[in-house]
């Protein structure tokens, strides 16, 4: 039914019908597919699953999101951010628990789509995005260090030198080939060149390849095939399973949605077009629903691969569709060649992912931006790296941003004090009054120095919460004990109703008072 709904939409056909763009999209899709194969394998290693689990996810997710997603030209596959979270789950409980987790993640993302939570990406501040991207780049870099070890031991000096040399060669090709020609994907050329070098030049017999790495990790008999239907096999009670998988599912659902919508916003900015956040959220749960049915990993959008696609001119949905189709053809009919790829080439490719992902302008920004924003960038980066599984980082984004926002707003409150010709002290309050600003609010008044009659005007201030109301109550009590007449003007009706003894000590100017409401869930109507 959902597919029929999409097929009835005019925009669905429009985004596939541009003949001039079609050729560019298909070639760009081929480039993305060729560059993605080793990346998907590398991500599978990180998650601790069979590479086919990651490759099948790349195909299924890439195809589904290319058709139903909210951003033509954006590439979504099995990604690093989700692979990192999956690592501890697979290590502790096994891969079948991963598939069960994807079922729950799928259900959560259904709710995200139904309640249009895609719009919440607007609440993610830019410093948080920078901190997350930088932290993710550092995690990718640190994860590659394990490739320099065998059975927990560092490679011997000769093997280490060869490994480093091949990594640098891979990175050099990826970096400098586009300066000579853009007709060939530099990542593909680098991988093919390094592979041929290892195969046909003497002295590279002991270089570790994808095949040897798979054997080291127990994947000796891999069947390279199309995805097949699979139901998770869990041998524990339902409630025990839910206790295990629920935290992972929630984190995966949030990270998948967040990174996808962050990527969407980035591509919107680069292409000067506008994607659809909520449509992308719906595409997420469709794709993850298919993934768990076919024993594949979870997924989200890939910043790096999306940038490859956009830089190669891929703008339409066909770029993602062709990438998925080429990918499944590669993993089914070119498996023997994939197994020959040296690990050094994969590491070099991932190092270039690090370089391309890290927001290098951050270093120039830090001295120039507000200290609070700099703090958020650094804090989110550190938390992302230290937490490892990104779960703590997700929660920290919200907490840190909320605290910084509250701190900034708390500094905005001020008063203008003057005494009029009738010897009345006036306080014209400016700025929001809420839990973060009440401490400063208390210091703004000089009760002992004020005249017998005092007027506090809230016309340019908003009473935001119950803490603010209690601060006003406390202030009115202090003026009462000082034996002075206090007038509170321009308070909302709700706020007046919450002021203690208001009828005795507060003179309300009803005619001038505007009708706005205080954000307090406990207000008595």
Q: pLDDT digit string (tens) for 466-520?
A: 888 888 888 888 888 898 888 888 877 767 766 665 545 444 443 344 454 454 4
Tokens, residue 427: 């306080």
- Residue 523 forms part of a structural domain: no
Residue ranges making up the domain that contains 429: 413-505
Q: Are residues 425 and 392 in the same domain?
A: no
Residues 127-133 have a mean pLDDT of 78
What pLDDT is attached to residue 229? 73
Q: Are residues 28 and 100 in the same domain?
A: yes
Q: Are residues 91 and 120 in the same domain?
A: yes
524-to-317, 435, 518 alpha-carbon distances in Å: 54, 20, 11
Mean pLDDT, all residues of the chain: 77
Q: Are residues 462 and 392 in the same domain?
A: no
- Residue 408 forms part of a structural domain: no
Q: Are residues 341 and 454 in the same domain?
A: no
In total, how many domains does the chain have? 2
Alpha helices in 115-209 (DSSP H): 126-143, 157-180, 186-200
In angstroms, the CA 106 to CA 99 distance is: 10
Q: How many CA atoms lie within 13 A of 487 on its CB side?
A: 18
CB 252 within 8 A of CB 82: yes
In angstroms, the CA 121 to CA 105 distance is: 18
In angstroms, the CA 306 to CA 264 distance is: 9
Q: Is the pTM of this model over 0.85?
A: no
Model confidence over 163-203: pLDDT tens digits? 999 999 999 998 898 888 776 767 778 888 999 999 999 88
Tokens, residue 277: 């956040």
Q: Are residues 135 and 72 in the same domain?
A: yes
CATH number at residue 456: 3.30.750.24
CB 58 within 8 A of CB 305: no
Q: How many CA atoms lie within 13 A of 308 on its CB side?
A: 31
- Residue 519 forms part of a structural domain: no
Token pair 């993934």 is found at 291
Q: Are residues 326 and 464 in the same domain?
A: no
Which range (140-144, 255-259, 427-431) has the least confidence? 255-259
- Residue 524 forms part of a structural domain: no
Calculate ∠ Cα 325-182-355, nearest 5°: 85
Q: Are residues 184 and 282 in the same domain?
A: yes
- Residue 481 forms part of a structural domain: yes
In angstroms, the CA 445 to CA 482 distance is: 13
- Among 337, 371, 402, identify where a domain stops: 402
Report CA 280 to chain centroid distance, whole Å. Answer: 14
In angstroms, the CA 57 to CA 105 distance is: 15
The three-state secondary structure class of 363 is helix
Residues 416-436 have a mean pLDDT of 90
- Residue 69: Cβ within 10 Å count: 29
- Residue 525 forms part of a structural domain: no
Q: Are residues 28 and 126 in the same domain?
A: yes
Tokens, residue 439: 């401490």
Residues 315-319 have a mean pLDDT of 84
In angstroms, the CA 31 to CA 34 distance is: 5
């Amino acid at each position: 039914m959902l597919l029929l709904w999409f097929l009835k939409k005019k925009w669905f056909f429009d985004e596939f019908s541009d003949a001039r763009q079609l050729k560019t999209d298909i070639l760009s899709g081929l480039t993305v597919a060729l560059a993605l194969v080793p990346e998907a394998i590398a991500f599978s290693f990180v998650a601790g699953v069979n590479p086919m689990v990651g490759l099948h996810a790349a195909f299924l997710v890439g195809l589904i999101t290319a058709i139903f997603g909210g951003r033509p030209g954006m590439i979504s596959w099995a990604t690093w951010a989700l692979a990192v979270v999956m690592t501890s789950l697979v290590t502790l409980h096994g891969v079948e628990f991963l598939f069960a987790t994807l079922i729950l993640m799928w259900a959560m993302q259904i709710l995200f789509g139904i309640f249009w939570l895609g719009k919440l990406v607007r609440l993610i501040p830019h410093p948080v995005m920078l901190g997350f991207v930088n932290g993710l780049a550092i995690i990718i870099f640190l994860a590659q260090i394990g490739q320099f070890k065998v059975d927990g031991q560092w490679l011997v000096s000769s093997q280490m030198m060869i490994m480093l040399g091949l990594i640098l060669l891979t990175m050099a090709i990826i970096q400098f080939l586009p300066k000579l020609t853009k007709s060939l994907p530099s990542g593909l050329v680098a991988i093919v060149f390094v592979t041929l070098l290892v195969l046909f030049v003497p002295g590279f017999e002991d270089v570790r390849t994808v095949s040897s790495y798979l054997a080291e990790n127990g994947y000796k008999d891999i069947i390279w095939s199309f995805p097949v239907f699979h139901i998770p096999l869990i041998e524990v009670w339902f409630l025990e399973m839910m206790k295990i998988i629920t935290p992972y599912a929630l984190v995966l659902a949030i990270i998948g949605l967040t990174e996808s919508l962050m990527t969407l916003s980035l591509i919107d900015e680069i292409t000067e077009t506008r994607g659809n956040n909520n449509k992308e959220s719906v595409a997420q749960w469709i794709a993850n629903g298919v993934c768990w049915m076919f024993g594949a990993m979870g997924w989200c959008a890939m910043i790096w691969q999306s940038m490859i696609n956009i830089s190669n001119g891929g703008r339409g949905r066909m770029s993602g569709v062709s990438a998925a189709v080429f990918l499944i053809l590669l993993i089914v009919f070119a498996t023997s060649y994939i197994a020959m790829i040296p690990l050094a080439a994969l590491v070099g490719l991932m190092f270039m992912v690090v370089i391309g992902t890290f927001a290098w302008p951050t270093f120039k920004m830090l001295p120039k931006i507000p200290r609070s924003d700099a703090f958020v960038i650094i804090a989110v980066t550190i938390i992302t790296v230290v937490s490892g599984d990104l779960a703590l980082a997700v929660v920290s984004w919200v907490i840190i941003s909320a605290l910084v926002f509250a701190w900034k707003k708390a500094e905005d409150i001020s008063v203008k004090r003057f005494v009029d010709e009738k010897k009345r002290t006036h306080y014209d309050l400016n700025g929001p009054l809420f839990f973060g600003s009440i401490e400063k609010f208390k210091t703004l008044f000089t009760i002992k120095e004020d005249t017998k009659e005092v007027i506090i005007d809230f016309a340019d201030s908003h009473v935001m919460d119950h803490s603010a109301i209690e601060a006003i109550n406390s202030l009115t009590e202090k003026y009462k004990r000082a034996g002075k007449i206090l007038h509170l003007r321009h308070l909302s009706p709700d706020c007046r109703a919450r002021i203690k003894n208001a009828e005795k000590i507060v003179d309300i100017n009803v005619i001038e008072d505007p009708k706005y409401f205080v954000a307090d869930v406990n207000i008595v109507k």
